[in-house]
Structure 1
């Protein structure tokens, strides 16, 4: 996974210095991070957010941006677009740290500009490493869960609750069968398969959770699940399914 980095600092000299330090770090982590934007004005960042819709970005922000939008307000806007954003303030105004708590921007670090170059560099490097760690841990947890949206309602299920996911008769919709019911939601089966590695594809239109299999009849190629639902699987999946069941059991 590539982590996008966005920098906003109104002083062009300081912006270049921060970008240089991050670029030095990227020499050894070029496959993990990419500087997507280095901006001197907050409206450059808001435009980027509107047009790109980034996810899991790492944002280095000055607080006093000499603009109508300061760094704290910009962080709030970022949080609305990129929920899992990792926000790091690089500033001389460390006394404003309590305000970031009040505004609920959830910054992960405050890096003071007024320190030695070596210490400043190390704090930048540490912030990048910590940002990656937090994102990796979040994604690991998310992969153990199954989330989907029905109207304005967001459902977040433990993977043990998911029985199977199949295409719906409604175009671009899927149906998820759980231990308690069936839900129809907008989505693509290919994206669900890529995101959730606990699901196994038994046909072009169906993904199953092997943990919720009750029994399998290989002569009829039919699976019965713990909730009573039954599904056919393609003949080409027989060998993989047998191996998966042996591994599960």
Structure 2
């Protein structure tokens, strides 16, 4: 598992230095981190977010980017696209730290540029290690739970309670069937499929939790669940479904 690193620094010399320090760190952690973008202006980062749709990225941002967007504004946009992002400000403007609270960007750290190189290097390395720790812990929790919002209420179910999630007849809404009832909420199956690896797509419009399968009739391509519900699965899913059932049992 690798973690994407994105840098945004308008000063080419400082960007090169930051890139070199991170590259040296990656030499000893090559399976953990991958530099995805070295940007000199915030719009390069925005383009990257739109095109790549990263998850759990680690972002090193200067605050004064000599652009129509500063680092704090960019961080707010990042947070909208990459909700679990870890944002680290590398700046000479640490007095602006309170602004990040006002903008609710939840920065992981502020690293002062104007300090001895050894101290600067160590703070960057410490920030990377801590970012990885936080992301790992978040993913561990996500593997064991399923969260969604209905209006102003946030629900957090244990993954064992999730039976299936499928598209609703209402555009942009999903139906969740759990062991405790049915819920309807706004969402996208593709995003849930990525966020919750325990879910398995059986068709274009349905994700299931294999743990709650009661039986499968491959002759008519139908899955029965412990709740009594049944759902059809695509013919191309048969082989994968047999493997998943074997692993689950």
Which TM-score band applies after superposition, normalised by the shorter structure? 0.7 to 0.9
Query: Is the 8 Å Cα contact of residues 210 and 244 (structure 2) preserved in structure 1?
Result: no
| Alpha-carbon distance between aligned partners in 2 of 1:67 and 1:20, rounded to the nearest angstrom | 24
Matched with 2:181 is 180
Does residue 1:83 correspond to 2:78, yes or no? no
Seen in structure 2, the aligned counterparts of structure 1 residues 131 and 237 have a Cα distance that, compared at 3 Å, is: closer
| TM norm structure 1 | 0.74
Q: How does 1:113-124 map to 2 (within 5 A)?
A: 113-124=113-124
| Alpha-carbon distance between aligned partners in 1 of 2:248 and 2:46, rounded to the nearest angstrom | 47
| 2:129 partner SS | helix
Matched with 2:12 is 12
| 2:181 partner SS | coil
Seen in structure 2, the aligned counterparts of structure 1 residues 77 and 193 have a Cα distance that, compared at 3 Å, is: closer
Displacement, 1:93? 1.1
Query: Is the 8 Å Cα contact of residues 149 and 186 (structure 1) preserved in structure 2?
Result: no
Displacement, 1:182? 6.8
| Alpha-carbon distance between aligned partners in 1 of 2:200 and 2:42, rounded to the nearest angstrom | 44
Query: Is the 8 Å Cα contact of residues 147 and 154 (structure 1) preserved in structure 2?
Result: yes
Displacement, 1:82? 1.1
**Count of residues in Structure 1 that have an aligned counterpart in Structure 2:** 238
Matched with 1:101 is 101
Q: How does 1:1-249 map to 2 (within 5 A)?
A: 1-147=1-147, 156-164=156-164, 176-178=176-178, 179-181=180-182, 187=189, 192=193, 195-197=196-198, 207-208=208-209, 210=211, 225=226, 227-229=227-229
Which consecutive residues of structure 2, in runs of 5 or more, have no partner in the other structure? 216-222, 233-237
Could you say which structure has the larger radius of gyration? 1
Displacement, 1:187? 2.9
| Alpha-carbon distance between aligned partners in 2 of 1:92 and 1:243, rounded to the nearest angstrom | 53
| 1:181 partner SS | strand
Which consecutive residues of structure 1, in runs of 5 or more, have no partner in the other structure? 217-221
Displacement, 1:158? 2.4
